[in-house]
């Protein structure tokens, strides 16, 4: 994937979170396992909150940062959101969580790659902050999912 500006990255990640949310929302009705349904609803809500956080950031960020251009922004992405399209009814809690973890780890890797390639310190700081936010939210999701497993 080739990004041209910081805004391009944010738009793409917002779309990614929307796609994951839609997949999770669509799949919760397909399973009869109440714990899986609760997990999918929780994770879909979490994706919506991440989208909203990115949108709010984009509204508040200075245009000078949002429209900073990358000279070399080819970023290999190993996004695994296609795995969410699998039949969730055949997955257990650990498998659903593992799929979501892979998706978010891909985003963290993307942010870290863009941070490392940023030529402007303020842009590097943004991507470092986004990687940290994504990692924090991922830890929270894993923790909350593990609590659900104990029910």
pLDDT, one tens digit for every residue, the chain (151 residues): 566 888 988 988 898 899 888 888 888 777 778 888 888 899 999 999 999 999 999 999 999 999 988 765 655 554 555 556 664 557 788 888 888 888 889 889 989 988 998 888 999 999 999 999 999 999 999 999 888 877 6
Query: CA 65, 54, 3: angle at the middle one, nearest 5?
Result: 55
Other C-beta atoms closer than 10 Å to the C-beta of 114 total: 22
Q: Which position has the token pair 């996004």?
A: 79
User: What is the CA angle 99-100-101, rounded to 5?
Assistant: 90
Give me the pLDDT at residue 16, please. Answer: 87
Determine the pLDDT at residue 75.
56
pLDDT of the residue at 26: 80
Domains defined along the chain, listed by start: 6-149 (1.20.1260)
5 - beta bridge partners? 69
Model pLDDT, residue 78: 47
Q: How far apart are CA 46 and CA 41, in angstroms?
A: 9
What is the structure's pLDDT at 93?
A: 86
| Sign of the C-alpha dihedral computed for residues 124, 128, 131 and 133 taken in this order | negative
Q: What pLDDT does residue 125 have?
A: 93
């Amino acid at each position: 994937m080739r990004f041209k500006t910081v805004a391009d990255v944010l738009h793409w990640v917002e779309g990614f979170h929307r796609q994951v949310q839609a997949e999770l929302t669509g799949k919760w009705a397909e399973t009869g396992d109440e714990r899986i349904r609760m997990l999918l609803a929780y994770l879909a809500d979490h994706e919506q909150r991440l989208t909203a956080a990115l949108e709010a950031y984009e509204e508040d960020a200075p245009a000078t940062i949002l429209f900073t251009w990358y000279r070399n922004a080819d970023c290999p992405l190993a996004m695994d959101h296609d795995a969410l399209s699998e039949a969730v009814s055949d997955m257990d809690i650990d498998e659903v969580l593992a799929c979501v973890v892979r998706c978010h780890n891909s985003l963290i890797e993307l942010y870290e790659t863009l941070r490392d390639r940023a030529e402007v310190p303020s842009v590097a700081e943004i991507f470092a902050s986004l990687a940290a936010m994504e990692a924090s939210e991922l830890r929270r999701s894993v923790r909350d999912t593990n609590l659900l497993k104990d029910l």
